[in-house]
Structure 1
């Protein structure tokens, strides 16, 4: 592994040099273990601790199959699916691995008693399998997390509709929170050259998800002038939605939960921010009963900020806690796009406000390859910036997941895998200097500016 690190850090190794490096027999990865799948039974979600379930251990290097690439992971990041995996909610991911393992002889590799997690990476291609032509050893890459088989016609208009669509590192094994990762070659994209390894690893999943949900024709199809309500606007997902709204000429109305998070949104350029805790919004009277009066109060506050206009697009991901309010405040003919349910999956809303006002609810899940590529392209051009706030070592992945689970973070948190320190991997220093303040925006909040 030391030879691999040295070659990558040198930055001038040829494809032949990289291809000639010997591969180790094993590598370190952050894993959950099948034997621990019931360890949190009976505990409330908040009390389930990823530090107890996530382990960094040596695992064998997997066999490389057709159309695949083995990548030396310099850095990765933690997403909510990493948290869900670590607390075995809503299901243990070992069921996903078992089902995938039944698909073919090759996919049997994924059905193991341990699950190497992680759905982001920035690194260097070490090997490619048969049939890979677009990528070669030595290429500096990031990876998106869509894994597809594309043997069904259903996936050939939008690969997210492939019946065998899975999220790499969540519904498959050999994820990015490790020293090496196994990906399909059509997950790879060029690493933005003005970013460090950890900065480049941070946007992947959330940036692509926000792009499809908000910008793509498969999502809301946002246009200039739209009023966009963004829940959790300073978080890992919402911070990219806020940037896309601003860059696309829309008007984001950012909902946050603290003055500090409100300041982050204003630093990104948003003018209209609602601190829901400071203004005391309580959309539920109790666990079973919502409060329409609070929906109306919320809608009135939104109109104060927009000059009397209602919301064109709601960027939804909290789920149960907010969904009734989201449907209510959307304008007639408007759109609610939803990609997650971090506060609960069983949504409730008053359907009168949907059907009689001709509103639409659109389900949006990650992104297809083209959408992920476009989302990465605007990162590479310096139009959208990483929201990295803090970086952990691979050994501290459990702590990183714990902090995300407890919402103790801002933006995204990164994890160094093979990179020995932060700040490495920058190739275009001129472009970086042009955008340094924006790149460091979230790190400055954590006192970790680079």
Structure 2
């Protein structure tokens, strides 16, 4: 049996604590993009770029473990839109991020390689910790959030997302979670919720923390009870958590989806006010350069029809270019548009009259700090927020998993198994799981 096989077997046997006495292998399999292929999609439209062609499963060396870091045996991971961007080399190839990071210090130089191991989620077991790590030890079952931060600048000590050297692990750094072993900073680690399988526990990380900061945190929209919250893509990876936070926090979600199937998922979560934008046939753009304010007005009227005449207090924005003009229009006077991601395009256009004359606010929100991530994970662990995993692929089919997300052919989150040989493993608290099983499985088969 290989060294990695011995580690895998110990974890599967429920003997995670034993991994500390097992040798760490010299290499592992990771999902990579390659620097010599960054021009492979040149001339193609974004929608025509195929992640199956650019994402590879390669055998790569285990990186050197530095101070304050941890090596984790990855049982499962998940797809986020940043992996799609990485795979199609947009908006820029991520090797530019790695090169810039590599200039920071001799330790950071490890990340500047001709291959990039991607992925910003994981659930697994700590293999080794570096000098100065006190809160975690080999054998701990963990999940990881994706904030990589240096904290040598004063800017990050009030909110780590404002640190001058803040990066997203597995996107702007190397050695990410779509792999059998990952390298993280120890302050990325959080306890694995004990009632979830490996793949369920891996799936919330990035999107759950992002939704928490964007909607709940004082650093975001600071949602309160009774707020009307317009949620774009309400059954998707990010929107599905926003919908849960709105419902859990006493707000009133207005869920925007693109099919009857996605509407049904939102109803299963408990949402009642739903707009199927495909059925309503909204066309916010007349052409590539001109929007249609009459469609904004028709959209706003539909929202008021559902809410009994109220406009949204908060608009949870992440599609970006396609929807942003409508979002600014739709928010109530004094309302908030909180935005991240821009999956349909980064160059937003809106009519500023609706913003300035109605005293609306636009808040930019990016991932979450450690405290926000910890709180978001705590809610998962307590069974108050649930995974939205719909489908899981093996590591070898990560390209197909990314294509599903790229083409919006998915619901909720798409998982990837790494060292876990099959789904359904890793549950340590069956009693708690039984209480929440319907909610945990809400997106399954969708």
Where on the TM-score scale, by shorter chain, does this alignment land: which range?
A: over 0.9
Counterpart mapping for 1:103-114 below 5 A: 103-114=104-115
Could you tell me which residue of structure 1 aligns to residue 317 of structure 2? 316
Measured in 2, the distance between the counterparts of 1:175 and 1:18 equals 20
Measured in 2, the distance between the counterparts of 1:102 and 1:241 equals 37
SS at match of 2:143: strand
Do structure 1's residue 413 and structure 2's residue 435 form an aligned pair? no
Could you tell me which residue of structure 2 aligns to residue 8 of structure 1? 11
**Cα shift readout 1:243-292 (whole Å, capped 9, x = no counterpart):** 00000000000000000000010010000000001011111111111111
Measured in 1, the distance between the counterparts of 2:74 and 2:28 equals 11
Measured in 2, the distance between the counterparts of 1:257 and 1:399 equals 22
Measured in 1, the distance between the counterparts of 2:96 and 2:433 equals 43
Could you tell me which residue of structure 1 aligns to residue 440 of structure 2? 439
Measured in 1, the distance between the counterparts of 2:194 and 2:165 equals 33
Measured in 2, the distance between the counterparts of 1:406 and 1:304 equals 31
**Cα shift readout 1:308-358 (whole Å, capped 9, x = no counterpart):** 111100000000110000000101110000011111111000001001111
Counterpart mapping for 1:236-251 below 5 A: 236-251=237-252
Measured in 2, the distance between the counterparts of 1:261 and 1:246 equals 17
SS at match of 1:304: helix
- TM-score (norm: length of structure 1): 0.98
Measured in 1, the distance between the counterparts of 2:252 and 2:30 equals 42
Deviation of 1:444 (Å): 3.7
Measured in 2, the distance between the counterparts of 1:390 and 1:320 equals 28
Deviation of 1:13 (Å): 4.3
Could you tell me which residue of structure 2 aligns to residue 348 of structure 1? 349
Measured in 1, the distance between the counterparts of 2:19 and 2:260 equals 48
SS at match of 1:435: helix
**Cα shift readout 1:294-313 (whole Å, capped 9, x = no counterpart):** 11111111001111111100
**Cα shift readout 1:65-111 (whole Å, capped 9, x = no counterpart):** 00000000000000000000000000000000000000000000000
Counterpart mapping for 1:349-364 below 5 A: 349-364=350-365
SS at match of 1:7: helix
Measured in 2, the distance between the counterparts of 1:288 and 1:105 equals 46
Counterpart mapping for 1:368-379 below 5 A: 368-379=369-380
Could you tell me which residue of structure 2 aligns to residue 31 of structure 1? 32
Kept after mapping to 1: 8 A contact 2:16/2:140 = no
Kept after mapping to 1: 8 A contact 2:391/2:445 = no
Deviation of 1:12 (Å): 3.1
**Cα shift readout 1:185-226 (whole Å, capped 9, x = no counterpart):** 000000000000000000000000000000000000000000
Measured in 2, the distance between the counterparts of 1:315 and 1:327 equals 11
Measured in 1, the distance between the counterparts of 2:290 and 2:15 equals 62
Could you tell me which residue of structure 1 aligns to residue 172 of structure 2? 171
Tell me whether 89-98 or 2-11 shows the greater mean CA deviation.
2-11
Could you tell me which residue of structure 2 aligns to residue 297 of structure 1? 298
Do structure 1's residue 119 and structure 2's residue 120 form an aligned pair? yes
Measured in 1, the distance between the counterparts of 2:24 and 2:97 equals 28
SS at match of 2:322: coil
Measured in 1, the distance between the counterparts of 2:330 and 2:403 equals 33
Could you tell me which residue of structure 1 aligns to residue 426 of structure 2? 425
Could you tell me which residue of structure 2 aligns to residue 274 of structure 1? 275
Measured in 1, the distance between the counterparts of 2:130 and 2:49 equals 39
Could you tell me which residue of structure 2 aligns to residue 97 of structure 1? 98
Runs of at least 4 residues off by over 6 Å: none
Measured in 2, the distance between the counterparts of 1:249 and 1:3 equals 48
Could you tell me which residue of structure 2 aligns to residue 227 of structure 1? 228
Gaps of 5+ in 2: none
Could you tell me which residue of structure 1 aligns to residue 191 of structure 2? 190
Deviation of 1:18 (Å): 1.9
Kept after mapping to 1: 8 A contact 2:16/2:125 = no
Measured in 1, the distance between the counterparts of 2:344 and 2:199 equals 28
Measured in 1, the distance between the counterparts of 2:25 and 2:187 equals 25
Measured in 2, the distance between the counterparts of 1:256 and 1:189 equals 32
Counterpart mapping for 1:58-97 below 5 A: 58-97=59-98
Deviation of 1:391 (Å): 0.4
